[in-house]
Amino acid sequence: MGTFEFKLPDIGEGVVEGEVVEWLVAVGDSIKEDDPILSVMTDKATVEIPAPCEGTVKSIVGEAGDILPVGAVCIVFEVEGDGNASEEKATAPAPAKEEKPAKKAAAATPAAPTLPPVEAAPAAAPVVRAAGTKALASPAVRQRARSANVDLQHVAGSGPAGRISHADLDRHIAGGASGASSARPMGGSAKVERNGTEDIKVIGLRRKIADGMMSSYSTIPHFSYFEEVDVTALEELRQHLNATRPEGAPKLTYLPFIMQALVKALEQRPECNALYDDEANVVTRHEAINLGIATQTDRGLYVPVVKHVEAMDIWSAATEMLRVTSATRDGKAGVEDLSGSTFTITSLGRLGGLGATPIINKPEVGILGVHNAKDRAVVRNGHVVVRRMMNLSSSWDHRVVDGHDGATLVQLVKTYLENPATIFM
C-alpha cells in the first residue's frame, strides 16, 4: 500500500486560497476517483473538489472555516501501489484532522438534547452530535434528506465521526413513519422550560455575506426611495402572454418585465448603471446592462447575473434568468454566472412587505427591491376602485447618485410598468 498526498488545486484565475466550507468525506472512508471530497469557497464561487484517485482517507487538513492556500496538502489517501509520497514524509506530524469525538458542551451550557433511540440500530453505535457540530454526509445523502424534508442535524450517524449513511437516513425516516412523532395530543402534558443554546460558527458563504454587507453599509452612504406601482394593465398583459407563449418558453413572472423596464430606464439614467471604485475615485458607467438577481438558496444568498439584457427580448431574458437562478439553487453555477453585474434586483416575492432598505451590492451604485403585487383599494378620478398594486424599494450610493437621479430612475420604471406597451416600443 502507498500514500497519495493531494494538494489543493488551482480553482480559478487569480485565486490563491480557499475557505473550507465542508468536508464531504471522513477519515476511514473508501472513495473512488472523481467522488466529491471537499467543498471550497473562494472570493468568486463555491466549488466541489473531486478525488484524484481511488483509496481510503488517511487524514485531512483543516476544518470548516479554515483557509487553505492553493498548492498545500489538504488530504492524504492510502492507495494501491506506490502513491506519490514516502512513508516517512506521509507520517510526519502535520495539522491533519484525525477522527475525533464530538466537542463537550461548556459547563454553563446544557448538553444537546439526546435523540430518541432508533429501531434496528446499526452495528456501530450512532454518534449524537453536540450543539453546533455539523452533520457529516455525502451529497447524495443530503439530496435525499432535502427531498424527504429531513434535517440531518437530527439524524444519528453510524459512520466515522458520526457520518450519516443512506442506511442511517432510512432508519430515521422509518422511525418517523412508524409513529415517532413529537406532536402532543390535545390536553397532553404541560409545557416545560427550555434553556439550551446553540453556537453557530459564522463561516463560508455566511461569513462572505457578513463581510460584504458590513463593507457596503459602512462605506456607502445609502439613501432609499420608495414608490408604489399600478400593475393592473401589466398583469393583464402577463396573463395574455403566458396563455399564448411560444412552445418551450417559460411562464413570465413580473421580473422579466421589470428587467426590460430597467433596460430602457438605465439607458436614460446611465449614472445608475455604474460601478464605483472608491479607492481610485473612479466611477465606471457601463453600456452593457448586466442585472444581478438576488437568489436565496439553502446555502445562503447568491447573486447570479443575467448579462446583456439590453440585447434580449422578454422571452430570452426570462429564459436566461431561469437558467442562472436554477443553476445557483442547485449549486451548479460557475464563476461566470456569479460575477459581472452592473445593477441588482432583489425580490421578496411572496413574502411581500410594504417596503425595505436593500443594501447595495458593492461596487454597484444602486439596487431595486421588488415586493409582491396584490389587489388594493385606491382612488382613481375621485372613485374608490380595486387595482393591482406593487411596491418598489430602492437604495442608492449617495456619493455618486443624487437623490433626484435615483428617484427619476424609479419613476421611469414605474411609468413603463404602468404602461407596459411602452416597454416594447
Question: Hey, which residues are catalytic here?
Answer: 398, 402
User: Strand 73-79 and strand 67-69: pairing?
Assistant: unpaired
> What gap in Å lies between CA 292 and CA 82, rounded to an integer?
49
With 0-12 / 13-18 / 19 or more C-beta atoms within 10 angstroms meaning exposed / middle / buried, residue 296 is middle
Q: Which of 202, 196, 345, 195 is nearest to 260 (CA)?
A: 345
Instruction: Measure the CA–CA gap between 340 and 342, rounded to whole angstroms.
Output: 7
Task: State the cell numbers at 283.
Answer: 466611477
Which cell goes with 18?
480557499
Rounded to an integer, what distance in angstroms lies between the CA atom of residue 235 and that of residue 374? Answer: 11
Cβ contacts of 351 within 8 Å, gap of 6 or more: 372
DSSP 108-149: TSPPPPPPPPPSS--SSPPBPPPTTPPPPB-HHHHHHHHHTT
Phi then psi dihedrals of residue 204, to 5 deg: 60, -140
Strands 274-277 and 282-285: antiparallel
List the one residue out of 380, 389, 393 whose CA is nearest residue 418: 389
Angle at 16 between CA 283 and CA 219, to 5 degrees: 35
Task: Show the cell assigned to 383.
Answer: 372613485
